[in-house]
Amino acid sequence: MGLFTKDIKTMDDLFVHQLQDIYYAEKQLVKAIPKMADKATDATLKQGFMTHLAETKVHVQRLEQVFEMHGAAVKAVDCPAIDGIIEEAEEVAGEVDDKSVLDAALINAAQAVEHYEITRYGSLVAWAKQLGRNDCAAVLQKTLDEEKATDKKLTTLAESKINLRAAG
Ligand SMILES: [Fe+2]
Ligand SMILES: [Fe+2]
């Protein structure tokens, strides 16, 4: 969306641009999630990361499917927001020594990622419907549901044991 890129003129342009943005984000996450899983100590958290990695690979495929359904080229555009969230997660993880505290920090970072995805997919679903692309909306909704479910699981995990252990 910078000075030298093509202007976004229509709602359709905006929809496609946001697809490209989240496509970049999902592909970065396929690389970042295994590193977060490596750092996690709690077995449930580690497994949770691996489960969501598998889902994230499907999110990439679904986006490719939506590009195709919408007749747009499969393309990624840099998304500084997700780069920042991932960078911060790696920085914080590097600064936390205590393994239990690190698990709490990893959950916090993972939830920042999920919330980012939820906002993006929420708009994409709404825009797809507005553009008369209920077929695209249905595919994007599947991913949105998985991001929301992951966020809920992380909250439950944090509140049921990880935060307690980190504080103890
Ligand atoms: Fe995702
Ligand atoms: Fe996600």
Domain boundaries, the chain: 11-167
Residue that has been written with the tokens 């966020």 in this structure:
151
Helix (H) or strand (E) holding 145: helix 134-157
Distance from Cα 163 to the centre of ligand 1, integer Å: 25
Tens of pLDDT, residue by residue over 92-147, are 888 899 999 999 999 999 999 999 999 999 999 999 999 999 999 999 999 999 99
3-state helix, strand, coil in the chain (%, to 5): 80, 0, 20
Listed residues: CB within 5 A of ion ligand 2: 117, 147
Mean pLDDT, residues 41-65 taken together: 98
On whether the CB atoms of residues 62 and 140 are closer than 8 A, the answer is yes
CATH of domain 11-167: 1.20.1260.10
- The Å distance, Cα 113 to ligand 2 centre, comes to 6
Ligand 2 center to residue 138 CA distance, Å?
17
Under DSSP, the state recorded for 42 is S
Neighbours of 119 (CB within 10 A): 13
